[in-house]
Amino acid sequence: MDHPLPQDFVAALKQPFDSKAGSAIVEPFGIAWGDAVALDKGLDSYDISVLKLGIHLNFKHTGVVFDHEYQDDGKGPFLLTSCAFWGNEGGYESYKGPMWKGLTFSDTEADAAAKLGAPTSVGRYGIHAWELPDFRLTIHWKNPNSIRVISYWMEQ
């Protein structure tokens, strides 16, 4: 399978599911909007998880993202707000596609810092965050020598 490039996922952040950028990241995996699961009634936030591919996508209604009227009309558009790429953890297979700046799930904190620079912050559970020009990248380690999940988050 040809996986989308990391910059394809970054370009899809803040874009609708059915946009050109959105299609570029879901079509290679055979993901359809029917795969989306509503998180909370009335919030218009949807998750799509593909366990066998190690990927998790979150979409929110544009009204939720930009806090304007009609945010719970159920009609969308629904914007990609984050994508998570899993190592072999919690039922997920390890994501096999390329990651930002050559990150791998076997990177240590020092490896990640060498590839990305020093993290902007280290938060709860030791989650490291990098505020990059177009998005936020976070890494949650399973242990010091193994990454559990790498996520790209849209900037608001």
Task: Write down the pLDDT at residue 78.
Answer: 86
Residues 6+ apart with CB under 8 A from 27: none
Give CA–CA dist 122/21, Å, rounded. Answer: 30
Task: Write down the pLDDT at residue 156.
Answer: 66
Give CA–CA dist 120/110, Å, rounded. Answer: 14
Other beta carbons within 10 Å of 31 = 20
| 3-state SS class at 67 | coil
Q: What is the mean pLDDT of the chain?
A: 89
Token digits for 105?
């799930």
Q: Which of 35-44, 94-103, 121-130 has the lowest mean pLDDT?
A: 35-44
Calculate mean pLDDT across residues 28-38. 91
CA distances in angstroms from 86 to 27, 49, 71, 90, 109, listed in the order given: 19, 10, 30, 9, 17
pLDDT band at 143 (very low <50, low <70, confident <90, very high): confident
Q: Is the pLDDT of residue 15 over 80?
A: yes
Calculate mean pLDDT across residues 35-53. 83
Q: What is the pTM of this model?
A: 0.90
Task: Write down the pLDDT at residue 145.
Answer: 85
Q: Is the pLDDT of residue 132 over 80?
A: yes
Token digits for 39?
């998180």
